[in-house]
Amino acid sequence: MDEKQSQFRPPIITIMGHVDHGKTTLLDAIRKSSVASGEHGGITQHIGAYQVEFEGHLITFVDTPGHAAFEQMRSRGAEVADIVILVVAANDSVKPQTIEAIKHIKKSQKPIIVAITKVDLPDISIEKVKGELQKYEVAVEGQGGDVPVVEVAATKGKGISELLEVINLSWQLNPQPSLASDPLEAVVVESFLDRGRGAVVTVIVEKGTLKVGQKIVVDNDTINVRALVDDAGKNIKEAGPSKPVEILGFKKALEVGSIVRDTNITAVKEKGPVDYAEIIAHAQEVKDKFKIILKADVLGSLEAILNNLPEKVLVVASSVGEVSQTDISFAKVASAPILAFNIKVSNQLKIQAEREGVVVKEYRIIYELLEDMEAVSEGFEAAKLQAKVKGRAKITQIFEIEGKKIAGCVVTMGKLNVGETIFVKKNEDDPGIETKIASIKRFKKDVPSISNGQECGIAMASSIDFEAGNVIESLG
């Protein structure tokens, strides 16, 4: 790298797009490694940052996950990037996560390059892809716009050099200074606990220089940098602007998106210890939500899951790392299952959990976890509503008394009372029409209530439409 080039930092590139459109395979081809083959379900589960050299120029890549569940991580990826590569498969064209990616790119106001992947497959249509991108205001070259387009077949190495060349050309139009001597500022793009190395925090240095032995601060933690490891797994002494690097020395995993700074720049605010008794008390107070305890391998995954759980799911505790005996004891007290994402639970802990009556469920694919929680949430809501039903009657016939419509009913569950609120429903899925019971007649006599198995006539307080076969329910 010559002196002129060293005055500017390398560009930071984010790859975004729909799941299974070849983002990781593209990066795999660029890095000449095999990230894609080791992924569960073909989906990138974590954010990774890597640096490559092309024609004497360094380029930093942030590999953002492509599944919809990682929306916030993708959004942060766009914010940290200088240029965004939008990946669209030639055989699949624009899909829901492609549209989401476009939304984030426009919000970030970053330059964009379109990489049309899988061009080596049969039955593709490059023009269809370009036309659909136009609908979402991504005006590519050749379609009246200036967004560069590169056709790629990553598995065959086609278009890789061309893509890197376009990145360099785009960056040369508006390069940013190195700022290596400025106060340190680095963004956390991943963080996890490693059994051998402890907390591992991956950052990209935005300005300043990160050095081994340097005292740094982020969130609650102030540490001396114990070691720096680059994306090739080598120990290095320092990292300058745009350099992705793992920091060792933290006592805990950090929040994705956190900013690492010199200690003389940011004051540290101490937080008190977690009050688990308070958490449990709160969980017990919340009666209308399904409680869970969430464990994940890294903070990126944890954040993505937390941001996409159904509203009716209450996370009473969440953390990064393996499931422990303490987690099982806590789950027993909180009456909540443990969901373990991308974590292997030992047989010993499974036995303990079974003994304590605690459910521990393991997941490898994030959308499977979310789909299960959607199903549980819906079932929980249905069961909750069912539990609230105090009385139910089926309308068997309709007749009139003095011009007023009366429902001839048989009570099939519980008890119905005059004056209470009821819902008249066409079927189980129908939310029903709300009204009140004006009067109940049994054997032509007014009665205050009617019980299971008895027949009666019910007059509604308001004029509503109902018919034979409808159901009347009162909620407790």
For each of the domains in the chain, give its residue range(s) and CATH number, in order of start: 3-173 (3.40.50.300), 185-262 (2.40.30.10), 276-375 (3.40.50.10050), 387-475 (2.40.30.10)
> Given pLDDT bands bounded at 50, 70 and 90, which one contains residue 240?
very high
pLDDT tens figures, 358-378: 889 999 888 889 888 887 776
- Non-local (6+) Cβ contacts of 58 within 8 A are 1, 10, 51, 52, 242
The mean per-residue pLDDT over the stretch 373-391 comes to 66
Strands (E), 128-212: 149-151, 185-194, 198-207, 210-211
Is the model's pLDDT at 78 over the cut of 70?
no
Amino acid 272: pLDDT: 39
Amino acid 344: pLDDT: 85
Amino acid 159: pLDDT: 92
> By CB neighbour count within 10 A (0-12 exposed, 13-18 middle, 19+ buried), where does 175 fall?
middle
Taking the C-alpha atoms of 247, 249, 254 and 260 in order, what is their torsion angle to the nearest 10 degrees? -60
Is the model's pLDDT at 342 over the cut of 80?
yes
CA atoms within 13 A on the CB side of 289: 17
Is the model's pLDDT at 278 over the cut of 60?
no
Eight-class DSSP state of 367 = H
Is the model's pLDDT at 430 over the cut of 90?
no
- Residue 439 phi/psi, 5-degree rounding, is -160, 155
The mean per-residue pLDDT over the stretch 149-157 comes to 91
Distance separating alpha carbons of residues 90 and 159, to the nearest angstrom: 14
Is the model's pLDDT at 235 over the cut of 80?
yes
Smallest CA-to-CA distance from 472 within 382, 391, 418 is with: 391
Whether the CB-CB separation of 117 and 154 falls below 8 Å is answered with: yes
Lowest mean pLDDT among 218-232, 256-270, 343-357: 256-270
Lowest mean pLDDT among 50-59, 70-79, 457-466: 70-79
> Given pLDDT bands bounded at 50, 70 and 90, which one contains residue 268?
very low
Amino acid 267: pLDDT: 38
Amino acid 279: pLDDT: 44
Per the DSSP assignment, residues forming a β-bridge with 474 are 391, 422
Amino acid 275: pLDDT: 42
Most confident range, picked from 10-24, 236-250, 446-460: 236-250
Distance separating alpha carbons of residues 141 and 166, to the nearest angstrom: 13
> Given pLDDT bands bounded at 50, 70 and 90, which one contains residue 74?
low
> Given pLDDT bands bounded at 50, 70 and 90, which one contains residue 288?
low
Residue 145 CB neighbours (<10 A): 16
Sheet containing 149-151: order of strands? 48-54, 57-63, 12-17, 83-89, 112-117, 149-151
Is the model's pLDDT at 400 over the cut of 80?
yes
Whether the CB-CB separation of 179 and 207 falls below 8 Å is answered with: yes
